[in-house]
Chains A and B, each alone.
Chain A
Amino acid sequence: MSLDRLIAYSLRGYFVLALIFIFVPIGISFVFSFSPHRFPTLPLGDVSTIWYEAILNEAPVSRAFGHSVTAGVIVALVSTFIGFAAAYTDYRYRFFGKSFYLALALLPPTIPVLILGLTMLMYLSRVSLVGELYSVIFAHVVFCIPFAMALIRLRLAQMDPDLESAAWNLGANSWRAMRGVILPFTLPSIVAALFLTMAVSFDEFMIAFFVGGVTETLPVRVLMLMQGQVSPRINAIGSVVFTISMTLVILTQILLLTRRPGARRIAAEGA
């Protein structure tokens, strides 16, 4: 019996160790973003916000931040719409070439981002669509669709297939049934997909680096800073982005939790 407890405790301890490995780089970046020294030293010493002031006053950083936000919002909207449409098509229809269709929907993230970036740069530069923010958006949508599609498809899989047909039998046409049954039921996954695709786009630097050219997004700016000498501004940028992302994640969680009764009511009405 005590051996069982010993094993349980050591396994839990191991899990905490794994978490420490995962959070050490995040924590260090956060802590040293407040250190005035260029090279991280222990003990920490003074607290300072000079690196935050540095990034605030640096035009390339704020411009890159603006590009990332714009691209992130547009990519989230477009890829979530296409992902929803593809998930619904997979859910409702059978057709010739469906496995090829699904491969198109799900394959992009299995190809290394370096190769996707290189490939898209070669192609987009042939048709003169390279070096602009829309180039980044085109490419990021390709990369983000699978995440949106997977989330929404999982939600559709939980839906009773008779719900939609029940709506048809009650006289609703396809569009009406979509608005009255499918959309409300999948809403939580749509919100989650919007957020996830925005986060993926916001964080992606390799494709953006290749196709964006001089139109830098924030992670591309970080990549450029990393090529130079040690710069704690990277820590400051990372901490700001982390705080924004986590605030959005938590807000989404709260939003989804408070919305749940409505979703349940629809499920109950259907049952």
Chain B
Amino acid sequence: MAGVAASQPAHAGAKRSAWKVDSYALFWGLPLALWQAMFFVAPLVFLIVMTFWSVKDFRLEPAFDTGNWVGMFSKGYVIDTYFRTLGYGALAAAVCSILAFPASFALAFKASPAVQRIGLFLLITPFFTSYLVRVYSWQTVLSDNGLLNAAFGYVGLGPFDMLNTLFGTLVGYLTLTLPLVVLLQFFSMSNVDRNLIEAAHNLDCGRIRTVFQVIIPSAKIGLILAATFAFILCFGDLVSPSSLGGSKPPTLSILIVDTVKQGNHWPRAAVVAVVMVLTLIVIAFTALYFAYSTKSTKKVRA
């Protein structure tokens, strides 16, 4: 970590000799570098190495075998699963963003500070409850003889198939992402300059137009980041598509688990994992590019 040793104080008040080994700087700089090198970077590097290993008689053997990559990419159902998972992630991000928007809008613009505090507390609460327990709860609500179908039965409707469908998976995805997305949208909208809204109002800009041409462009960064987080969480989630979606058709996470369970094929699972990580990196950087590009804010100013 020569980098830390050659550290320079970031702010002007600190004028010290910058190039001598500074034990104080090392003490604070090194723990993260060491820990993440050992338990984060090394495992990820090993994951890539693992994609080239081979499996003989259910045993792993070090090798340089590109067969895992070729094998996974030449299977039609793997490609299908890849695009299905992308689609699920995109669908979840879109549905969650749209459903969250009126709620975060209400909290940002139609609530007193006291109500805002209570609202924020309630939105943070789910982070301290188990996602698994909440999914289990949804199972008892959505199943064929579950609570919701019992309620429908009272009024002579149903039963509806909700568990083990895409609808079930989406309910799970929303359970995972909705509180976070509402929070992120709220923070970005509460930072919108109120003078802009006032100005739009004075210029006879309609309510809907104000939302789409003033508030959404001003809060763009937070809105895109919220949708990106929703995508990342749902793209890699295993619990909702398996416990509420019934694993059929599978997502990439289910494919990884199946690949490991059937035939102990860790290298192929590693191929899927590497492809997923690369996909997430590309998506995250694309989203950041759009979030921080200045085109649409210029349009508002014009």
Contact = CB atoms under 8 A, between A and B. Distances in A.
Interface of A: 7-8, 11-12, 14-15, 17-19, 21-26, 28-29, 32, 39-42, 81-83, 85-86, 88-89, 91-98, 101, 104-105, 107-108, 110-115, 118-120, 122-124, 126, 138-139, 141-142, 145, 149, 161-162, 164-166, 168-169, 174-175, 199, 203, 205-206, 219, 222-223, 226, 230, 234-235, 237-238, 241-242, 245-246, 249
B36 A142 contact: yes
A175 B97 CA distance: 46
Interface string B267-282: 0011001001100100
A235 B136 CA distance: 8
B134 A18 contact: no
Given A15-B106, A89-B4, A123 B127 contact: no
Contact of B134 (A29, A83, A95, A145): A29
B105 to A, nearest CB: 6
B24 A199 contact: no
A201 B70 CA distance: 37
B7 A25 contact: no
Interface stretch (B159-167, B216-224, B230-238): B230-238
Contact of A165 (B7, B13, B105, B147): B13
A154 to B, nearest CB: 12
Interface of B is mostly: helix
Contacts of A205: 130, 132
B111 A168 contact: no
A92 B22 CA distance: 13
Interface in B175-191: 175, 178-179, 182
Contacts of A141: 35, 39
Contact of A119 (B35, B43, B130, B151): B43
Given A22-B126, A245-B129, 12 more contacts: A7-B207, A26-B137, A82-B35, A89-B28, A95-B8, A114-B237, A119-B273, A122-B47, A122-B266, A199-B128, A237-B133, A241-B129
A237 B137 CA distance: 12
A138 B151 CA distance: 47
Contact of A161 (B6, B13, B40, B236): B13
Interface in B102-122: 102-103, 105-107, 110-111, 119, 122
B32 A123 contact: no
Nearest to A231: B136
A199 B128 CA distance: 6
Interface string B1-43: 0111011111111100000000011011101110111011111
A174 B280 contact: no
Interface residues of B, number: 89
A234 B8 CA distance: 53
B268 to A, nearest CB: 12
A25 B40 contact: no
Given A108-B40, A139-B39, A165-B14, A85 B32 contact: yes
A95 B29 CA distance: 10
A22 B47 CA distance: 36
B174 interface: yes
Contacts of B266: 122
Which of A86, A122, A219 counts the most B-chain CB atoms under 10 A from its CB?
A122
Nearest to A249: B128
Which of B32, B99, B174 counts the most A-chain CB atoms under 10 A from its CB?
B32
A96 B3 CA distance: 5
Given A14-B106, A110-B284, A123 B43 contact: yes
A119 B132 contact: no
B69 interface: no
Interface stretch (B76-84, B138-146, B293-301): B138-146
Contacts of B276: 112, 115
A246 B125 contact: yes
A223 B132 contact: yes
B245 to A, nearest CB: 14
A118 B51 CA distance: 13
B150 interface: yes
B260 interface: yes
A93 B24 CA distance: 11
B212 interface: no
B133 A222 contact: yes
B243 interface: yes
